[in-house]
Amino acid sequence: MTSTVSLSAPAYAAGTVVAADRPSPAWTLIKLRRDGLPPLRFSGRLIARYRGIAPRVALWHDLGLYRTAAASFVVEIVAQHLVPSPDIAPLEPSGFQVRPARCHAALFETLDGALTRLETHDAACDVCPGISAPALSFNDPSIPPALLVMQATALQGFCGDVVRRYKIGVGAMLADIGLRDV
């Protein structure tokens, strides 16, 4: 799986479920990035994907659900964020590049286990203050307490928005899966 995505691809429009093609008899070798762990490699196929990118959003989640050739399931959760990219051709006119902030992938024996993981993931843990979220200057003794409170409030609001958008994405993906035979 690549670490950048095209913002112009019509299938990845703002907050959309991208339904996988009908299952084919052939399985594909898939490799998913994971923070702090070796990549998760398996033979399988994509069941559903949600791309959470939206205008003026600095951090969003891309979600994937896979079925393996061994009849188990894999959940992929990638928190994506925009970073300045002056030396690389930008994917967006604003001069920003899409990069993964956090990558999670896990194997589950049952579809219920995989869906539970999607529903219970704490999206706020994917926020990186000062990188993909408002900074918090708690190490600077010259910062007045009122400014720290304002920064903390901005970070709290940012985290709340990330969590709400994540839950909307999971709901959209689950609704799409519920309409099809997995």
- Distance separating alpha carbons of residues 28 and 69, to the nearest angstrom: 9
State the pTM of this model: 0.78
- 180, exposed or middle or buried, with CB in 10 Å at 0-12, 13-18, 19+? exposed
pLDDT in tens, the chain (182 residues): 333 332 333 233 346 666 554 445 578 999 999 999 999 999 999 999 999 988 778 889 999 999 999 999 999 999 998 777 665 554 555 667 788 889 999 999 999 999 999 999 999 999 887 766 777 777 888 888 898 888 888 888 889 999 999 999 999 998 888 866 66
CA-wise closest residue to 80 among 5, 182, 169, 158: 5
State residue 137 phi and psi, 5-degree precision: -95, 55
CB 122 within 8 Å of CB 104? no
Give the tokens for residue 105: 């992938």
